[in-house]
Amino acid sequence: MAQFAIEHLSENELLEAWPVIQQSHSHATAGWWISEGKALIERGGGILAARAPDGKIYGVATYEVARKALLGRVLAVDTLIAFELSRRAPVRHALCDAIELLASAFDCRSIVLPLPSKGHVQHRAKTLYGLLDFEAPDSV
């Protein structure tokens, strides 16, 4: 199994992550990503990249520490994208392990991950598969 190095990206390295970001933000531009990434870093957040031994980035996670009324200090992960070549999901596991370490280092009680809304999932299903609803195809 490939080993992935998890690293923080600097403002100068943001463009290297664009191909991965583009997987999830297909209507965005590289300029938008650079602007968003810089703003996140300036606010004290960060961008993690899962880099393979060949130097290519296969996963990206963006985060910042926030305060939530009932939860206290949380590590808010806005983006978690992994390009996987295996069902074992080594990229996602490497990023999630790093996120857990960061949460502990920042003394966060919880990690908050966004889940796609039903509308987003349905839109993606229609776009990718031409489906209007999540109807299972007839069994053969």
Taking residues 113-129, what's their average pLDDT? 54
CA 42 to chain centroid, in Å, comes to: 19
Contact between 75 and 65 (Cβ < 8 Å): yes
> So what's the pLDDT on residue 133?
47
Q: 137 pLDDT band (50/70/90 cuts)?
A: very low
List, for residues 91-103, the tens digit of each pLDDT value: 999 999 999 999 9
What homologous superfamily is domain 5-115 in, according to CATH?
Gcn5-related N-acetyltransferase (GNAT) (3.40.630.30)
Q: 2 pLDDT band (50/70/90 cuts)?
A: low
Q: Is the pLDDT of residue 130 over 60?
A: no
Q: 140 pLDDT band (50/70/90 cuts)?
A: very low
- Give the domain ranges of the chain: 5-115
List, for residues 28-87, the tens digit of each pLDDT value: 899 999 999 999 999 999 999 999 999 999 999 999 999 888 878 999 999 999 988 778
